[in-house]
Amino acid sequence: MTIDHTQTEIPAEWDRRGLPTWSFFSSEMLEAEKDLLFRSHWQLVCHMSDIPNSGDFIACDFVGERALVIRGHDNQIRAFHNLCRHRGSRVVGQDTGNCRSAIICPFHGWVYNLDGTLRGPAQPQSLPDLDPLEYGLKSIELDIWKGFVFVRFKPGPQPPMSQVLQRFSKETDQYNLGTILPSGDGYWTEEVAANWKCVRDVDNEGYHVPLAHPGLHDLFGANYHDEPLRSGISKSIGSFRANAGRQWSVRNYVSILEPPQDLDKDHQNAWLYIGIFPNLVFGLYPDSVIFYQEFPIELGKTIQRGSSYRHANENRRMRLSRYLSKRIDRMTSKEDEQLIQWSWEAAFSSGFDGILLSDLEYGVHSYHNALREFFPILNENEPAEGMLALRNTELLSSNTDQN
C-alpha cells in the first residue's frame, strides 16, 4: 500500500480566528462539553491485555464519572460505574489491581460478583432482601476495538469504534493491535494548567514541529503530513528522514530499529498518529503503540492520561528501540506542555487579540468545525449567564429542522 500524501484541499478563504476566547473561560461551556463530548463519546479505558486474568481490573475517573473495567470468571470484559449501590463508595480504590473471586466494597463490605451482580450485603439480617440484579453494579456501555476497551456514559452520535476507524483500517490492521502487550510502565497521568481545548489546539497541528520539537524534527524533517479531522478522525504521519540523527536518541533509534516485516514499506520507517474526536490520539510506531487522551478537571486544569504497549514478539533490539522512541516521546510531550500553558496564559494578557491560523494549521480549524457541530453556540457571542445550555439546544434543534 502506498500512503496518499495528498494534502486536503484547503479553501483560499477560511476563518483563521479559532474559537471565541469566551469559550475557554465559561464554566457553563465546560459543563456542556463534559456532557455532549466527554460523557457522550467513547472513552478509552485500557487494552484487554492490561487485564489478562479473571478479576483483573482498571479504574479510570473523568468528568465526575468513575469507570471500572473488569474481566470476569467467564473471561468476559465488562464495564461498570465504580460505585457501590449501598452508599456510593468506590468498590475498588486503586486504578488497577485484581479482585480475586469477588469485588468487596471497602466501606461496609458489600460483596459483588465479577459479573457485577450483588452476592450479598454485609450483615444481611440488617437489611431487606436485595435482588442481586437490581442492586448489582450499574453497567456502562462498552465497545472493544482491536483489544482497546472503550466506555460511554451517555448515548451519543458516535458509531462503534470499528466504524469510526474504518477509513484508516488498511493502515491500523498492519500493527496487530489485538495482540499487543502492556509495556510494563503502567498508565501515566499529567496535570496541565490549561483549558483542555488548548491541549487539543496544540496537538492538532504539525506547523510547530520544526521549532518546538527538535527531536521529532530530527526524526521526520519535512516528511510530516497532517490529514485534518473528517468524520471524527484525523491522521498525521512522519516518515523518517534519510539523514536523521543529530540527536543522540534519534540517531540510535533509527540505527537500532529493525522494522517489523508485518508493516508495509511506508509504515516501517514512520510514526503514524490517529486522532479520534474529541480527545484521543493513538501513536502507532514500528516498535510500540501508545495512546494519550485528555480530560477537563476545571476551566484551567486538564488531566492527560496515556499508556504504551509493546509488540507480542518483541526481541531485545526492538525493546531497545522502544526505549528510545519513548525518550523522544517524553521530550515531545514536555515541550508541548509548555506550549499548551503559554496558549492558555495568553488569553489572560491585556494584549491578547485572538489567534490567526496558517494553512498548515487547518487541522485545528477542522477540529473546531467538529466542535461547532455540537456547539453552534460557538458561532455567537457569549450567551447571558445561565443561558448557554438552553441557547445551544435551541440552535441544535433549529439545525436539525433545517437538515
Cell 510506531, residue located: 285
* Interface pick for ligand FES out of 5, 17, 87, 265 (rule CB under 6 A): 87
Residue 110 contact, options ligand FES, Fe ion, none, Cβ 5-8 Å cut-off depending on partner type? ligand FES
Give the shortest CB-137-to-ligand FES separation in angstroms: 11
Q: Is 128 left (phi over 0), alpha (psi -120 to 50) or beta?
A: beta
107 binds ligand FES, rule: CB under 6 A: yes
- Cα 195 to Cα 41: distance, rounded to the nearest angstrom: 19
Q: Residue type at 109?
A: G
* Interface pick for ligand FES out of 44, 92, 105, 276 (rule CB under 6 A): 105
Give the shortest CB-109-to-ligand FES separation in angstroms: 6
Nearer to ligand FES, 111 or 212 (CB): 111
130 binds ligand FES, rule: CB under 6 A: no
Give the shortest CB-39-to-ligand FES separation in angstroms: 23
Q: Residue type at 45?
A: V
> Interacting stretch for Fe ion, rule CB under 5 A, among 65-73, 290-298, 333-341, 393-401?
333-341
Give the shortest CB-206-to-Fe ion separation in angstroms: 8
268: cell is 516501517
Nearer to ligand FES, 18 or 121 (CB): 121
> Interacting stretch for ligand FES, rule CB under 6 A, among 35-43, 81-89, 189-197, 276-284?
81-89
108 binds ligand FES, rule: CB under 6 A: yes
* Interface pick for Fe ion out of 336, 340, 362, 367 (rule CB under 5 A): 336
> Interacting stretch for ligand FES, rule CB under 6 A, among 24-32, 79-87, 159-167, 198-206?
79-87
Give the shortest CB-118-to-ligand FES separation in angstroms: 10
Residue 138 contact, options ligand FES, Fe ion, none, Cβ 5-8 Å cut-off depending on partner type? none
Nearer to ligand FES, 103 or 328 (CB): 103
- Cα 170 to Cα 263: distance, rounded to the nearest angstrom: 11
103 binds ligand FES, rule: CB under 6 A: no
Site for ligand FES in 277-336 (CB under 6 A): none
- Cα 44 to Cα 164: distance, rounded to the nearest angstrom: 13
Residue 68 contact, options Fe ion, ligand FES, none, Cβ 5-8 Å cut-off depending on partner type? none
* Interface pick for ligand FES out of 84, 165, 328, 370 (rule CB under 6 A): 84
* Interface pick for ligand FES out of 89, 166, 176, 369 (rule CB under 6 A): 89
Positions that interact with Fe ion (CB under 5 A)? 336
Positions that interact with ligand FES (CB under 6 A)? 84, 86-87, 89, 105, 107-110
